[in-house]
Structure 1
Amino acid sequence: MATPTARDVKFFVPTKDFETSVAFYQDLGWKLNWREDKLAEVELAEARFFLQDFYAKEWAENFMVYVVVDSAADWYQHAKAMLETGRYPSMRVQEPKLEPYGATVCYVWDPCGVLLHFAEFPNR
């Protein structure tokens, strides 16, 4: 039996404070495609996911989003500037570091603890 086709894959990202997370992702560079009371779709690099008004600490702090970028250093500077505004006090940012698998990665934690990996590969 042939596998049915698919046209898109999206996932649901938790938020501790829905309004803050929607603003955070927009400030970070995601485009807000649409929103309702408890759900919003954001997009970056033609990939989309849902921000949902739901929070479970263990889930949020173990959820990760991996983004392949041209420059981890640029994303670090961008995220650091956001952090310095004080608008997102629970946000964290780590300087880019070379990981054993070859990517240079800037780590950013969103307002509810979701870990974003901004990964730069030298030969891509």
Structure 2
Amino acid sequence: MISIDATDLRTFVPAQDFALSLRFYAALGCELEWSDENLALFRLGGSRFYLQNFHVREWAENSMLHLSVRDAAACFRDISGLIADGDFPGARVAPPRQEPYGALVTYVWDPSGVLLHLAQWDAP
């Protein structure tokens, strides 16, 4: 077996409307580190991901990001308020749900259909 000796892992997230998705992820608290007209690098906590100005519906609707959060219920309240005014068409959020694997999870769909799992691990 070889050792790749990796120091980082980043995923690519598709965007149907790149400008809208840039605003959405920034509103969620993701820090934009770099961008051009086709790619943006965001930091969230100790992780990074690329937002790509490229969209295939089937890919977007089958893409998921799992994020560990401190308070899934607070995430639900905050994101519900964020998308309630209609500034992020296509975005939606579901109330927190206790999953059998132990996390309390708020599900969020970004404007392109990418599913975010906001998982609280210390939930009762």
Alignment check: 8 A CA contact 1:14 1:112 kept: yes
Q: Please name the residue that 1:25 is paired with.
A: 25
Q: Please name the residue that 2:3 is paired with.
A: 3
Unaligned runs of 5+ in 1: none
Q: Please name the residue that 2:74 is paired with.
A: 74
Q: Secondary structure at the match of 1:86?
A: coil
| Matched letter for residue 92 of structure 2 | R
- Aligned partners of 1:106 and 1:82: how far apart in 2? 14
Q: Secondary structure at the match of 2:54?
A: coil
Alignment check: 8 A CA contact 1:28 1:78 kept: no
Alignment check: 8 A CA contact 1:15 1:53 kept: yes
| Matched letter for residue 49 of structure 1 | F
Q: Please name the residue that 1:90 is paired with.
A: 90
Structure 1 residue 4: Cα displacement: 2.8
| Matched letter for residue 121 of structure 1 | W
Structure 1 residue 89: Cα displacement: 2.0
Alignment check: 8 A CA contact 1:106 1:118 kept: yes
Unaligned runs of 5+ in 2: none
State the TM-score, normalized to the length of structure 2.
0.95
Q: Secondary structure at the match of 1:111?
A: coil
Q: Please name the residue that 2:114 is paired with.
A: 114
Runs of 4+ in 1 over 4 A off after TM superposition: none
Alignment check: 8 A CA contact 1:109 1:116 kept: yes
Structure 1 residue 120: Cα displacement: 0.3
Alignment check: 8 A CA contact 1:91 1:110 kept: yes
CA deviations 1:1-30 (Å, max 9, x no partner) are: 541311111111000000000000000110
- Aligned partners of 2:57 and 2:2: how far apart in 1? 39
The sequence identity of aligned pairs, in percent, is: 44
Q: Please name the residue that 1:65 is paired with.
A: 65
Q: Please name the residue that 1:42 is paired with.
A: 42
CA deviations 1:71-102 (Å, max 9, x no partner) are: 00111111101111210121110000100111
Q: Which of 114-123 and 14-23 deviates more?
A: 114-123
Q: Secondary structure at the match of 1:26?
A: helix
**Number of positions where the alignment pairs a residue of Structure 1 with one of Structure 2:** 123
